[in-house]
Structure formats: structure tokens, C-alpha cells
Structure 1
Amino acid sequence: MQTFSIRRPAVCSPHGLVAAQNRHAAEAGAAVLARGGNAMDAAIVTALVLSIVEPWLSGVGGGGFLIHADGRTGALDTLDFNVRSPRGLKPADYPLTDAGSGNWFAWPAVVGERNVAGYSAICVPGAIAGFAAALERYGTISWSEALQPAIEHAERGLEIDWYAALCIAVEVAGLSRDPAISALLLDNGQPPKAGADTRRFKPMTAKAALLKRLAKAGARDFYEGEAAQLIAGDLEAGGSAIRTDDLASYQAMWSPALTGRYRDLDIAAIPGLSGGPTFFDAARRVEARGLEQASSQADAALTYATAIREAYAVRLNSMGHAATPQAGCTSHVSVVDRDGNMVSLTNTLLSRFGSRVALPRAGIIMNNGMMWFDPRPGQPNSMAPGVKPLANMCPLVLSRGGKPWLAIGAAGGRTIFPTLLQMISGIADFGLSLEDVFHRPRIDASTPRIKVDARAEPDVAARIAGAFPVEIVEDTLYPVNFSVPSAVMRAEDGGFLGMAHPTSPWAAVAAASA
């Protein structure tokens, strides 16, 4: 194996920052800040562009969560726009391959993987409702203005460089089963090849037309108007249980933040069916074990592994979770504007390319939200009509002295809250800088065998192995063994710092110009 040492410096700016998993999206958000827009304006523009330039992770066919923090007052607000099962869902349509097997690591599969891929895996998407509600409450730009960068990117198309070609190629078997997504992303059923001499693009003509309609008719047209008729028609024709009344009844939900404290940091998370409650559970367990700056990395790693493992046992046995072999694929955006307002936003299609279905006329790639439900009947998170599943997403905002100080989140399914726990502990317990904590080797304790980054100190794996099975892995692009975080932070000098995942080739922090 050929290895490289990669170091990505923090980006500094007094005018605001956008950290995201794709530089085109981050730059679109930063341009909004430069024109006088605020953190929410930039976050929504960034998320909309991400749905075009990185369609395997997030999009308007999915759902998510966000937290808004007022830079002046410190006031916090959260928005739940996660996916919801159709009202006409029949759990009996998802029979198990082996009803007698399964635990919180590996529950039984559904016959034909109907909860993982295809139209039967799709839940009602909440992204458009959430983005519009967020702009209405905290934004300064119009809905139409927010859509323009995404429309321009959709008309130009997804750029097929080496990384996009790789991301499509690893899922080509699943993508080739759906004619619409195959036509959108593949070349005659084969993975596209990156342009050798010129830039290649895959235009998203139908999606551009849908976004143009929403810019003119408004966001609710996605749920109640002609766009809704188009979307529901595509879904019904494909065999989905989603109908027009499922779309019409969907509303994003504002709630007070779930709050807690770690050391001297006040932390805000999403309440309810998110990664937030389990993050706080694990954080309390870590704090009780008394980590301090003098603690060894091996001691810290065992502390993290034990806390995460115990918290997951509570989460998956009492809250429920759809554990499948599919890796979670999500996009996270962290934004701070010149006034210190912060937004932490996570949007997801769930698996890579979601259900691996694109709606033929609407042109959008759809989520596989059914995967997040427990496929076994009689469980806390079992499949049911018209409800939301337990989600892994865990956007956070940390405050000091009553003012937002750090907005952070990550992509990566079940690895999300364990990553955030280790990063926040690195800052609070070990005094690491934002840049250092992003480069610190991590563990993942959300799988049967605890994964240890090969870059960790040699005694880390040995120490954990005394309590749990261990696997030493590389922090590779594929498979994705650890989550992909991004963050913005208030700096001591009064400006702001931003970091994106060091080993992600497209991730970036974009600074707003003066």
C-alpha cells in the first residue's frame, strides 16, 4: 500500500466561513456571506448545491436536521426535517429472511432488501420543507434566490472527475437496476470515466426544471402543487406506497434544543430521534471516567470505546435502530457569519445514492429511509405507517459564555456521534486545537469489532483488545471506516476558524470575502 501524510490547515477569516464536503458548495455559500447574507442563507444555499455536486450523499430527496445559534444572544433553535414513512405502509410487505435471528449489531435482513433499495425503501422526503422553513424563520434572502446556484449547477451537471467516477463505480451494480438513475449517472450501463483532457459533466436537466418550478411556485409546490403531482406519480408508478396526501401533510418541525454540558462547554443537539441523546449519554460516561490532559492515548481510546459501546447498547435496545450492512452516507455543513451566527446542518439520503432510484420525470435521487426502521415487529423503532425513524445525524453547536463557539457535525452513519465525542473530548480534555483534533487518529466502536486507525499509537489497539475485539484499519476514501466531519469555530482573536475532513478530496472551507 502506498501511504501519504496529509495535513490540511485551518482556514481563518473575520468575515465568515462555510465548511462542507464539496468546495463548489462551500464556495456558493461563502459567496452568499460575501453579499451580506447570514449563516442560514449560506447554509441552505450550500446544502442545495451539495444535492447536485455530491448526489451520492445528500439531496432534496432526503431529510435532515439543523441547529441555529444567534451570535448576539446565544439563543438556540432546532429544525427536524427528517424523512417519514408513508401512511399506507404495510409492515407485512417487508418479511424477514430469518425472523429468529438478529441483535443490535446485525438484525435480520428483509426479503429482497425491500427496506434498503428500490421504491419500497423510499420515505417521504423533508429536505425542501426544511430548507424553506429555515430561510423563512432566519434567512434574509428569498427562496428563489437560494435556489439559483443549485439550478446553475444542475444545468451544467455533475462533474465527472476521478473521485466522482470512483463513487459511482463502487455502486454501479445497484445503480444499473434503475433505468432513470442509470441514465442519469452511467455511460450505457457502465461507470463513467473521468475526462482525460477536458472536464466532463452529467447534466441534471429534469432536476433543474423541478428546481426552476419550485423557485417560481414556492417550496410547498413540492408537497401540494404540480411538482407534488409529478413526484407522487413517479413514486406510485415505481411501486412506492407514497401518495399525494403523504406529501401534502409533511411539515418540518421546530423544537427547543436538547442541551447538556461537557466540562466548560454548553452543547446543543437535536432532541428526539437523532444521535443527540446518545451523544450526551456517551459524553456523561466519558466525563465520569475522569480523562485529563495527562491521560495516555491508550487510556483515552479505551474510555471512548467503553462509553460508546455502552451508549449504543442503550440506544439500539431502547430507542431502536435499523442496523444493516449498508454504510450511512450523509453531508454536513457548518457555517458562521460575520456576526457570529452559526448553523450546523446535516442532510442525508441515508445509504450511498439512497434507494438507488431517481424519479424519471422529477429527476431527483430518493432516500432509502425505510432502512432506519427496525425490521422486526414489536420493537421501539419498528416499521409503522406515517412515522419518522431513529436517525444517526447529530449536528451540534457548542457555546461558551452564552455565545456560540463551535458548530460541528459529520457524515458517516453510525460513526457520527462517536467521532464528535472524540473530537470534543480532544478539545476539552486534552487542549487540542481545532486543526489538531481533525488530524487526531480515531476509533469506531459502533461495529462488532472496534476499528482502530492504523496511525494511532501502538499501545492503543493493545489496550482496547483487552476488553473488546479489535480491527486495525486505514482511514481510506473507500471503504469509509471513519466519519467525515466539518466545523467552524470562534477564534480567540475575534475572527473565525474552519476545518474540513483532511483526507476527503472534495471537502473544503470557503471564506467570505470582505
Structure 2
Amino acid sequence: MSGSFSRSQQTRKPGVTATSGGVVAAQHVVAAEVGAQVLAAGGDAVDAAVAVSFAIGVVEPWMSGPMGGGAMMLWREDEGRAHALNYGMRSSATLDVSHYPLSGAGKASDLFPWEAVVEDRNVTGATSVAVPGTMAGISAAHGRFGRIPWDRLLAPAVDLAKQGLHVDWYAALIIASSARDLALDPDAATLYLDDGQWPKGSGWTALADQRLDQSKMAETLEQLAREGEAAFYRGDIAAALVRDVTEKGGFLSMDDMRDYRVTWSDPLAIPFRDGTLHAMPGLTAGPTLADAISRWQDGYEASDADSPAAYVARANGLRAAYAERLTNMGDHESAKAPSCTTHFSIVDSAGNMVSMTQTLLSIFGSKVVSPSTGLSLNNGIMWFDPEPGKPNSLAPDKACLMNVCPVVGETPTRRFALGASGGRKIMPAVAQISGHLMEQGMSMQDAIEAPRLDASGGAQVVVDERLAGPVADALADNFPLALAQRLPFPFAFACPAGVMREGTSNSGTTETMSPWGDGVAEPETKKAP
């Protein structure tokens, strides 16, 4: 066991509770406020999700945006059931696998310990861009369940883009962490950097107001507000994206865009104690979640959930579930990856819920910006193993394997929507928080703030320093162990966001150490979004 830290400070988030209205919990409070205003205007949880999706792509552009992909779980109160919607990225049908030869230089430089590819062509640059799905996903959800007109839902994001993103200390830190790679793309450097080196920043005074110029993104969002999904996949925006990616050396065609389809499916129904977790099927973390939860229930009783032995059982279950995932799904993502995704959860006054995860994959995706649209581009090609003959090997026209894990959980007395960002750390966080809610009856705030462990990468188990003592000692008797602090950057245990409904009361909150994240209750005063 390693690591010794001072615990002289304790940090908590207040969370929010609404006795009659809905709640939005998101990694950026401004996006959460946008969603809460949509609920106040009479919008469904799906309407709020559309608005939050676009808004958070503006205020957190390095994590997600229309050029990304992801998945969502939806709970429909009138149907009494959950729906799963997968809008993950795909490789282009025109992709040339021979363009990604192994370099023989060891392991890749980003999230996955694949064998390195020449010039990191699968990691950064236009050659790492995959066919996006986020736009299709939110459009499909809105078409099926939305009530408020599409253009009104995009209006807040347009306004935010016109204002430009304020570069505070946290934004400057995020940009600085990727400045070297951003400098390689002229358009990314223009948007995010000063003189191609340093992040645009607001300096040392609180009155300084340095902002990113997101005017080109605002124009794109205005067109999407007018023309919807058609413009993105079949119209002028599609043509511009294809041209920009192709001119920068990547693989993307109009046929790729036109042929993209989302997948609606029945969710996995995972029995958990006296309740059920509804999770994503297919090429997500949902099947691995189901495996881990099954092992937990065989490993300890719910009444012993807070015991050292239960933590050992959870670590064993996670390790075994990930070993199965690696063998059958080919997922080798490093558990040391930085948080590079975004998640938000929503419940409306009627009890409808959305748990939505969207991502560019790496932080800043490919580190490339489309000059015609102002959108940051994904690096979804990195999801594939560049070595041939593996379950997840790189190939044309192939769906990406994702670690997203949005869930809707229910017990006899309450229901919750939950998810997280953080690569392979997502599923262990979602599983443990769900356990706190379903085995120990915690509030959402207490469940998210409770210390967790991570056992998703290699032999070592990483545990929150607050578990030092009997729990950490029991884990150290069974595994190589490291203690870790809960910090704003990087996140050692993922970055969750969740909402919960008990009777007609709704509550929600986000990761305690997330500088921008928060839960926001629907305002009592009704007004248009």
C-alpha cells in the first residue's frame, strides 16, 4: 500500500431537492441551469436533455459536442419502463487500415495501451476522427419524446457560443494540459491558445474576462436550430465537415454521414438486491456492469455492504468482470486515463428521467478543430485495437466499443438516473454509487460523496484515502494497493452526476470535486427557455 495524505480539509456539495419540480445534474452548472429552465417552461426530461447536450458542448467543448458520440438511458413514467439509445461513433467505410501501421515504439500515448501506431495516427489528428453520433442521438430522442420545438431548445447554446467561453482557472488548466497537441492543428491553436503556446486565460484578477471566440460554432448551432439533423448528416454542415476532415488527411465521406443510424433497444435489466438496474446493452460498459453486480451479490450480503470484506468482494468482482471484458470485448483502456467525457442526469416533475453520456473520447478529441464549423472533432478511431485479429481490431465501417455506463435504477421506494465520465473508471463508480443507493439507502448526495475504490486497470487497486484503516488494510492483504486523493484534476475515481426521485420529491448532485458541476432544481417561476 502506498500514499499518505493530510485530511485537514473536507469538501461537500449541498446538492438540491425539489418538492414539486424537476432537477438537472451536470458537469457544468451553466448547462444544468439551461436544462432547469427548459423544465420550468413545461419541457419533458428529453427536452431538457437536448438543451443541456448542446449547451454543455459549448461550455465544456473539450469533453463533448455534436461531433462526438455516446448513449442514453430514458425512463418513461407513463410506460413504466426504460429505453436504451446508443449513438456511438463508427469508423468510416472508407477507412484504410494500412494507413495505421504499428511503429514498434512501444505503447500508444493516450487512453489505451495499444501498440503504438506511426505518428499516433489513431490518437491525434484528422486520421483519428470517426463518424459522429451525438447529433443523431439527441435528435432521435427528441423526435420520439420531445415537446418543445427544436429551435427553442438550441437557442441557449447559440447564445452561450456568441458570448464565448470564459477562461477561468479550471478552463486554463484543462487547455494547458493539452496545449502541446493543440498547437499542432492551426485551427485548434487559434481557438484555444495564445501564440500557439499558452491557454487563453483571464490572468490574475477577478475582473479579467478572457473568452474563447466561439462565433463560428454559434453560426453552426444557429443552422442546426433551423434545419436540424438533416443539415448535420446530409446538408451543408455535413459537406463542410467531410471537406475539413478530408483536407486534414482523415477518412470521412458524405455516405458515412448519410448512412449513420442510432440504435434503440431494450436495456439490460440487472437484478440488484430488491431492485433493478437498467443499463446499456451491446458495445458499452453495461454487460461488464451486469457481470460485476452478479459477482458482488454472491460475494457479500447487503447487510454487510460497509464491511472491509464487502470492499474486498467488490474489488474481486470488478477485477474479474474486467478480465472477462478484456478477453471477449477487447477493451484495454487505461484506468489512469483523465476524465474526458461528460455526463448529465435529469428528472422532470412527472418522473421521466434521462441519463446521458456523451464524449469526444480523449480530452479535446483529436485535438483538431473544423474551421468551417468551429466544432472540435472526436478521435473515435482510438477506440479500436490497431493490431489485427483481436475482438476490437480496427476495420472500416465498424462500431466503436465504449466505456459509457448510463443507468436508471429502481427499488420499491425510489428511482434514480446515474452515470459518470472518466473512461474505464466510469463503471466501477456507477456500480458502487448504485450499491450505496440500493443496498444502504443513502441519499444521492451521500452516495456520490462516499469514498470509492477503482479496480479496473491491471493488478493494482486504487482506494480513496478516506478508507485508510480497516478497509484499506483488508484490501492490501489481497491486492497491490494505492491510496489516492479526491482532487479536481485529475479525477481518480470518475466524475458522476445523478438524480433521484422518492415519491414526488426529486434531488440531484454531481461529483464533489468537480469545479463546475452541480445539481440545479427547476425554478418555481415558469418561463420560456
- TM-score normalised per structure 2: 0.93
Structure 1 residue 428: Cα displacement: 2.3
Structure 1 letter corresponding to 2:85: L
Q: Distance in 2 between matches of 1:253 and 1:141?
A: 23
Q: Distance in 1 between matches of 2:87 and 2:79?
A: 25
Q: Is the 8 A contact 1:234 1:362 kept in 2?
A: no
1:353 pairs with 347, 364, 368, which one? 364
| Post-superposition CA distance 1:347-375 (Å, at most 9, x none) | 01111111111111111001111111122
Which residue of structure 1 lines up, in the alignment, with residue 10 of structure 2? 5
Which residue of structure 2 lines up, in the alignment, with residue 234 of structure 1? 244
Evaluate the alpha carbon distance shift between residue 427 and residue 400 of structure 1 in structure 2; reply closer, same or farther with a 3 A threshold.
closer
Evaluate the alpha carbon distance shift between residue 95 and residue 39 of structure 1 in structure 2; reply closer, same or farther with a 3 A threshold.
same
Asked if 1:49 is matched to 2:60, the reply is: no
Which residue of structure 1 lines up, in the alignment, with residue 527 of structure 2? none
Which residue of structure 2 lines up, in the alignment, with residue 22 of structure 1? 28
| Post-superposition CA distance 1:304-343 (Å, at most 9, x none) | 1111110000111101125357535111110000100001
Q: Is the 8 A contact 1:297 1:457 kept in 2?
A: no
Q: Distance in 2 between matches of 1:360 and 1:182?
A: 11
Structure 1 letter corresponding to 2:321: A
Structure 2 letter corresponding to 1:194: S
Structure 2 letter corresponding to 1:172: A
Q: Is the 8 A contact 1:69 1:404 kept in 2?
A: no
2:462 pairs with 437, 444, 451, which one? 451
Asked if 1:435 is matched to 2:445, the reply is: yes
1:389 pairs with 385, 391, 400, which one? 400
Asked if 1:415 is matched to 2:425, the reply is: yes
Structure 1 letter corresponding to 2:38: V
Structure 1 residue 46: Cα displacement: 0.5
Structure 1 range deviating more: 179-188 or 70-79: 70-79
Structure 1 residue 131: Cα displacement: 1.1
Which residue of structure 1 lines up, in the alignment, with residue 501 of structure 2? 490
Structure 1 residue 96: Cα displacement: 2.1
Q: Distance in 2 between matches of 1:288 and 1:194?
A: 53
Which residue of structure 1 lines up, in the alignment, with residue 202 of structure 2? 194
1:368 pairs with 364, 376, 379, which one? 379
Gaps of 5+ in 2: 525-529
Q: Distance in 1 between matches of 2:107 and 2:168?
A: 43
Structure 1 residue 203: Cα displacement: 2.3
Structure 1 residue 432: Cα displacement: 2.4
Q: Distance in 2 between matches of 1:296 and 1:404?
A: 21
Structure 1 residue 433: Cα displacement: 2.4
Q: Is the 8 A contact 2:337 2:423 kept in 1?
A: no
Which residue of structure 1 lines up, in the alignment, with residue 123 of structure 2? 116
Which residue of structure 2 lines up, in the alignment, with residue 338 of structure 1? 349
Q: Residues 400-411 of structure 1 correspond to what in structure 2 (within 5 A)? A: 400-401=411-412, 405-411=415-421
Which residue of structure 2 lines up, in the alignment, with residue 66 of structure 1? 72
Structure 1 residue 404: Cα displacement: 7.2
Evaluate the alpha carbon distance shift between residue 28 and residue 100 of structure 1 in structure 2; reply closer, same or farther with a 3 A threshold.
closer
1:78 pairs with 79, 84, 90, which one? 84
Q: Distance in 1 between matches of 2:150 and 2:120?
A: 37
Q: Is the 8 A contact 1:70 1:404 kept in 2?
A: no
Q: Distance in 1 between matches of 2:410 and 2:452?
A: 24
Q: Residues 229-268 of structure 1 correspond to what in structure 2 (within 5 A)? A: 229-268=239-278
| Post-superposition CA distance 1:414-436 (Å, at most 9, x none) | 00010111111122223322221
- TM-score normalised per structure 1: 0.95
Q: Distance in 1 between matches of 2:116 and 2:39?
A: 46
1:151 pairs with 125, 138, 158, which one? 158
Q: Is the 8 A contact 2:300 2:313 kept in 1?
A: no
Q: Distance in 2 between matches of 1:172 and 1:165?
A: 10
Asked if 1:314 is matched to 2:288, the reply is: no
Q: Residues 284-299 of structure 1 correspond to what in structure 2 (within 5 A)? A: 284-299=294-309
Structure 2 letter corresponding to 1:6: T
Which residue of structure 2 lines up, in the alignment, with residue 499 of structure 1? 509
2:484 pairs with 473, 477, 483, which one? 473
Q: Distance in 1 between matches of 2:437 and 2:162?
A: 42
- Three-state SS of the structure 2 residue aligned to 1:68 is strand
Structure 1 residue 443: Cα displacement: 0.8
Structure 1 residue 412: Cα displacement: 0.5
Q: Is the 8 A contact 2:497 2:510 kept in 1?
A: yes
Structure 2 letter corresponding to 1:52: V
Q: Is the 8 A contact 1:323 1:374 kept in 2?
A: no
Structure 1 residue 457: Cα displacement: 3.3
2:40 pairs with 27, 34, 38, which one? 34
Q: Distance in 1 between matches of 2:414 and 2:388?
A: 42
